[in-house]
Structure 1
């Protein structure tokens, strides 16, 4: 595929981008949408299936009440109206990885509609209007074997895993997002980021984009600048990272601009985003709603959530994550940059829990933005997946404050906890990680270090106090890092000073 002939700025000069974002979120229920099969991620293929989700003859579905509750929570948090009555529908087209060859979804009657989500883009608030949030089921997973790209074209054969078929989904669809001009890619990313944070705070999903729990379909079209008529849109499917959402939108804007300037027409189609190249490629021609041949699902009764139940759910909604972050920042006294770094690293709630367990905000932030992210990177896991709890970290911090551990020793204790060696006290006992606080032992170590480097004392006496670092380092090495460096320095200066007095 040839590269775009326009750069991004040139495209924006001539065209106005129009966005539409469809986000699919897998709900964190214990069982599937219409049966009792478990939803645990990573199970052996085709082990979490039953006659209902395999669509065997005579199997009858039933609605998962928790999934409905989660859908209502999402709708309320997005300022949507909750339908007093809604129903499921069959969405028909060829699904190679859906056993029944149709998807049970909602069409005319979504559970939630007409909401909005305000997002921050470079200090400005952009309101993204929500068309609908509706319930449906996920498809299975196809693995194409033998090809170079992992896609069906060129593959020797395909494997189907139906474990995911029937997992509860809520699809959140925006209204057309207009007026964003050059900031369109950033708006798309900011919206998905805010939505992810909101869903996580609601406790309805783990929102793991890397595992497919949250997936974004990005619709993009261009219209000549100032023209109110929308152009033909493309839908880039299943974009699975925040960075990729921004990159996919940006690329599609430049690609479509190049097509239009070159005299071509944009095809209404699905497209695939390639992470490595940052480009999109054609998928299939995009169907219209009529092509899906929707009709009411005959095997499921309508859903009619009582107003009292909806009110009860509304009362349980948590503080919105961006309002919570603003409040915590004020309480902790963090600078804007400190808070941005903490948010970017995914450490806000970890710091909050560590502070709740007794640490100061600055102590907690220091650990969760420096040493522990290094350990997470080494292990290739997210920060909140490290095998150490905020309570355990707060206990380590308390021992540092109490003089039982130095910072270096504390890091070794944390290493032991991360290695699965037990609670902090157990690691300290097993590894013998105690501060050497006996002045006589420290004095002996200082004397031995001075004897080994006799010139250091003279340098200190001549005012080169920085030379003390060599002796302090030698003592720390001799005590395997278990000495209090500040106390060692005090003893060293007193020893050198005393010797000077004696020579005088």
Structure 2
């Protein structure tokens, strides 16, 4: 359902997302793609487009493009070829970009996104392969621009959606889902801060309920998910204000200024014939066999939506818990490993989505860096499930101890360490009675209120006993004893 703006307009949005493929070398030569090198050190005669040089296609880039196409339910085109997109810019040494135009490697496709009414499939138009340009740098020398060609020739896929999103939130969710997907299947790190994923947004408005597309504006080089939302929201508002004032939207290319949160025109929007596309004469057509495609399909991991469905139907998890577990592939792999060690699936999910995720977020770690193996987590869950530890003590005292084991802990189990740290819950009735009496004597007015009918105070009493016992009192047994004592 489209979002209605000011009661009478709806926006229509299509996205073009450029994803840098995680290949070791460039699309048409052996130059390194390693990020962060000194400027103009990862270049060769082919990158510089020196006369007489000829490109050679990187097979791994083709594999990655097919892999992404399969993940997005695209039709893989067995016959596709490259073209020259002709334009002049300082960071494009050849004077053209080698890309795919009329015959891309993947057609169609669907990407699931979250909306206010549930999951909706956004339609894709195609995915094509192309080379990246270099990078113009304007802030090193005053009044001068520099060009770094390290990035020139790096393998990209451009993922082109249909105009099938209707709010900035939907566009944001689409980018987030694609970002997760390319990381999940291992074709890109999708780090927007390093330029591995860049987004252009095509935006138009029309009267609510109309099926015709309005005049579109392209906002280029949106380099963060936050900027994508801000730019689209600003541009929708700008167009509506323009039309409301009696003006007309012009087809143009605009850029987003993150400092001011506004867009500004940079040029009239080009048409395809402005680039004088023609087939690349130095590269033969790509012909993909069905066996090649099926070999890649067989190597694909289970995708996030498939695993989320499995976790709900087979493990009994809530949709929220399942979605949290598949938000990152490493977390899903960790969860799968832990479920091989225990059948307490909900407890595993609660620990990962609770204490362990807190560590990940607070310390900016991956789950593999937390220091708790799936086997150790299963042991902790067993201690809690059998009543030897309560969850609070296990998460706040045992977990940190297991993350930073001392030399004297090598080879010791979670139970050994919990015992050595005196964390094991006691069933000694005399000790429990002592702690209960101390707790009740410290709050006589609350005891009196409880006996007059305020039974909800039982939680306060149990909490006070837990505090006095330093977590060693079994809350269930404590509650039973307090009820017996107070009636």
Give the corresponding residue for 1:170.
Answer: 157
Q: Distance in 2 between matches of 1:457 and 1:11?
A: 58
Partner residue of 1:260? Answer: 243
1:437-475 residue CA offsets vs partner (Å, 9 max, x unmatched)? 59799989998x899999559999999986575565344
Cα 1:352/1:100, change in 2 over 3 Å: same
Q: Look up the match of 2:96.
A: 102
Shift of 1:256: 1.0
In structure 2, what is the Cα distance between the partners aligned to 1:354 and 1:69? 32
- Output the TM-score relative to the length of structure 2: 0.77
2:28 maps to: 34
SS in 2 for 1:62: coil
Distance 1:330 1:294, change over 3 A: same
For this pair of structures, how many residues does the alignment match? Answer: 471
Shift of 1:170: 0.9
| TM-score, normalised by the number of residues in structure 1 | 0.75
Relative to 1, partners in 2 of residues 1:217 and 1:354: Cα closer, same or farther, differing over 3 Å? farther
Aligned to 1:192: 175
The answer on 1:25 being equivalent to 2:19 is yes
Q: Distance in 2 between matches of 1:468 and 1:124?
A: 41
**Residue 473 (structure 1) aligned with residue 470 (structure 2):** no
Distance 1:314 1:287, change over 3 A: same
After TM superposition, give the deviation of residue 255 of structure 1 in Å: 1.1
Cα deviation digits, residues 246-289 of structure 1 (max 9, x gap) = 44333222211111222333233333334565433333333222
State the match for 2:75 in structure 1: 81
2:139 matches 1:145:
yes
1:52 aligns with 2:35: no
Distance 2:255 2:379 in 1: 48
Q: 1: CA distance between counterparts of 2:249 and 2:469?
A: 72
Matches within 5 A, 1:24-423: 24-43=18-37, 45-117=39-111, 119-123=113-117, 126-145=120-139, 156-177=143-164, 183-225=166-208, 229-275=212-258, 278-339=261-322, 350-358=334-342, 360-380=344-364, 390-391=374-375, 393-398=377-382, 400-401=384-385, 407=391, 408-412=393-397, 414-415=399-400
Offset at residue 299 of structure 1 (A): 3.0
Pair 446,275 (structure 1): closer, same or farther in 2 beyond 3 Å: farther
Residues 426, 473 of structure 2: 8 Å contact kept: no
C-alpha separation in 2, matches of 1:33 and 1:363: 46
Query: Shift of residue 139 of structure 1?
Result: 2.8
Assess if the C-alpha contact under 8 Å between 1:359 and 1:397 holds in 2.
no
Q: Hey, what does 2:455 align to over in structure 1?
A: none
Alpha-carbon deviation of 1:135? 0.5
* 5+ residue gaps, structure 1: 1-7, 148-154, 477-482, 498-504
Q: Match of 1:221, SS?
A: strand
| Alpha-carbon contact 1:11-1:253 (below 8 Å) kept | no
Cα deviation digits, residues 292-316 of structure 1 (max 9, x gap): 2323333322211122212333344
SS in 1 for 2:68: helix
Matches of 2:473 and 2:246, distance apart in 1 = 73
Distance 2:437 2:108 in 1: 80
Cα 1:435/1:175, change in 2 over 3 Å: same
Name the CA distance, whole Å, in 1 between partners of 2:80 and 2:326: 38
Where does residue 484 of structure 1 map in the other structure?
A: 472
Secondary structure of 1:245 counterpart = helix
Backbone CA RMSD of aligned residues = 4.5
Give the deviation of 1:137 after TM superposition.
1.8
Contact 1:21 1:174 in 2 (8 A): yes
Shift in Å, 1:111: 1.1
Q: How far off its partner does 1:171 sit?
A: 0.7
Distance 1:223 1:468, change over 3 A: closer
Q: Cα–Cα, structure 1 residues 189 and 436, in superposed 2: closer, same or farther, change >3 Å?
A: closer
Point out where structure 2 has 5 or more consecutive residues left out of the alignment.
Answer: 452-457
Partners of 2:311 and 2:275 in 1: CA distance = 47
The whole-number CA distance in structure 2 between the counterparts of 1:349 and 1:12 is 46
